[in-house]
Amino acid sequence: MRILQVITPSKIAGAEIYLSKLARGLADCGNEVTVLVKRLPEIEKLFAGKGVEVVVGGVGGKLNLLSVLKLCRLIRRKNIEIVNSHLSTASLAVGLAGRLSGIPTVATVHALNNAFCYRFADHLIAVSESVKRHLERQGMPPDKITVIHPGIDTSEFGFAGKSRDVRQSLGIPLDALVVGVAAHLSHKKGHAVLLEAAAKAAEVGCECFYLFAGEGAERLRLAEMAGRLGLEHKVIFAGFRQDIRDVIEAMDIVVLPSIEGEGLPASLLQAMSLEKPVIASRLSGIPEIVDDGKTGILVEPGDSRSLSQALIRLTENAELRAVMGRAGREKVLSGFDIKLSIERTLELYRELILRRA
């Protein structure tokens, strides 16, 4: 099968990392995979790999004739059989180019996006049941949407024994309890809610270090907030990390306190694969990952008091952390491994190609 994947990122985030694993997995199954990306060195490097051809060019954020014509030429030159777009910016052009070229197109919807972006796609892949419902509420026919969870490479997110090195490099005591967030430092990720919860927990003697792995526009504001709350010596900003597995391994509890819609957060799957108990917002696709009380604790978005109570509960109970951690890894292995995502995606591609034939 000759497959074209199209993505137009401005930075490396969950969708880009997932697609890099998916593309290589599809190639390992004997398919010819081409990935069209923007001209960004870190993006090109991410997608370079055995069996995957990277074409630099990208597609503009708005539908325009030039983008559609470029795609049509690439489809013809590579004799592409199916195209899969990722992120809403490319999906209109990809859908139209597919129709003009007479081949099926798929759009993977990674977040709670406007369904208008996918009006020309033959089929949609929703990364969660929550995203599927969001599309249906906008009038997208249910039979046009397939839910395929974006899995992770569970062999990559296993223990590597690097926790000690990470803690020493960041100045965190080896015996400290570490609560961590692995996410872009943006308002919607809810880091400020966690800081409020941390201050409340500290009032009753809950002593933890808080490790923020990620970069973003909120960094200065969050650092100032930590200072106001008296947490400046307990909050560590680690920045963007290439060694995210090792950083998560150095955490005892992983939190994702999002206050706006999520697709299916990879950081939670990564943490659970590493047997970390998680605390996360009861929001969008998160409850599809986290079984409340079994693999972690769900709290209402923006509720710092409930988040504080969850922190206290887990920090005081090492046995509960271990039980939840083991249950989390079992859930990821059984339903969120990248191998399952590859199998289900290939099955859908074959069905759409046969239907078009």
- Per-residue pLDDT tens digits for 174-225: 999 999 999 999 999 999 999 999 999 999 999 999 999 999 999 999 999 9
Kindly tell me if the per-residue pLDDT of 42 is higher than 90.
no
Confidence of residue 347 (pLDDT cuts 50, 70, 90): very high
Report the pLDDT averaged over residues 28-34.
Answer: 95
pLDDT band at residue 339 using 50, 70 and 90 as cut-offs: very high
C-alpha distances (whole Å) from 219 to each of 24, 193, 195, 224, 237 are: 34, 14, 13, 9, 8
The predicted model scores a pTM of 0.90
The domains found in the chain, sorted by start residue, are 2-151+337-355 (3.40.50.2000), 166-336 (3.40.50.2000)
Tell me what percent of the residues of the chain surpass a pLDDT of 70: 98
The reported pLDDT for the residue numbered 60 is 66
pLDDT tier, 251 (very low <50, low <70, confident <90, very high otherwise): very high
pLDDT of residue 61: 60
Q: What is the pLDDT of residue 160?
A: 78
pLDDT at 262 over 90: no
pLDDT greater than 80 at residue 11: no
Between 293 and 88, the more confident residue is: 293
pLDDT value, residue 114: 87
**pLDDT exceeds 90 at position 13:** no
What are the distances in angstroms from CA 211 to CA 35, 81, 208, 244?
34, 45, 10, 12
Write down the mean pLDDT value for the chain: 94
Edge-first strand order for the sheet with 123-126 is: 52-56, 32-37, 2-7, 82-86, 105-109, 123-126, 145-147
Of all residues in the chain, what percent carry a pLDDT higher than 90? 82
Evaluate if residue 50 carries a pLDDT over 70. Answer: no
Yes or no: say if 288 and 127 are a contact pair by the CB < 8 Å rule: no
pLDDT in tens, 194-207: 999 999 999 999 99
